[in-house]
A and B are shown apart, each in its own frame.
Chain A
Amino acid sequence: MIDSPIAREFLETGRCASCGVIDLHAHYGHFRGIYMPNHGPQQMIATMDRCGVDLMVSSGHTALADMVRGNAEMAAVTAQYPGRWYAYLTYDPHLRELGRRELELYDTRPTFAGIKLHPTFHQTPITADAYRPVLEFAAARSLLLLTHTWGGSAFDSPAHIAQVAERYPSITLLCGHSGHGQFAECMDVARRFSNVYLELTAAYAVRGVIEDMVERVGAHKVVLGYDLPWFDPHYAIGCVVMAHISDEARRLILRENALRLLQGRLRVP
Chain B
Amino acid sequence: MSSDIVYMDCNVSVGAEYAGTYRPCLGVEQLLAEMDWHGVEQALVCHTLERNQSPVVGNAVLAEEIAHQPRLVGAWSILPPQTEELTPTPAFFHEMAAAGVRALWAWPTEHRYVLNRITFGCVLDELSERRIPLLIPCDWDLAYHVLADYSELTLVVTAQGPWGNDRYFRPLLERYPRFYVDISRYELDCGLRELVNRYGADRLLYGSAFPQAPMGGPRLMVARAEIDEPSRRAIAGGNLRRLLEEVELA
Q: What is A's interface to B at a CB cutoff of 8 Å? A: 1-2, 10-12, 14, 33-38, 43, 47, 50-51, 183, 202, 204-210, 228-244
Contact = CB atoms under 8 A, between A and B. Distances in A.
B219 to A, nearest CB: 6
B36 interface: yes
A232 B221 contact: yes
B218 interface: yes
A242 B22 contact: no
B191 A232 contact: yes
Contacts of A237: 220
B162 interface: yes
Given A237-B220, A238-B217, 16 more contacts: A11-B1, A33-B163, A207-B23, A207-B210, A207-B212, A208-B214, A228-B189, A230-B188, A232-B190, A232-B221, A234-B221, A234-B225, A239-B216, A242-B37, A242-B219, A242-B220
Contacts of B162: 202, 205, 230-231
B60 to A, nearest CB: 26
Nearest to A39: B189
B55 interface: no
A35 B167 contact: yes
A206 B22 contact: yes
Given A205-B162, A234-B224, A243 B190 contact: no
Interface in B1-27: 1, 21-23
B36 A38 contact: no
Contact of A229 (B22, B189, B214): B189
Interface residues of B, number: 37
B211 interface: yes
B101 interface: no
B185 interface: yes
B51 to A, nearest CB: 17
Contact of A35 (B166, B214, B223, B226): B166
B227 interface: no
B187 interface: yes
Contacts of A234: 217, 220-221, 223-225
A206 B213 contact: yes
Contacts of B188: 34-37, 230-232
Nearest to A210: B214
B22 A243 contact: no
A175 B194 CA distance: 32
B37 A11 contact: no
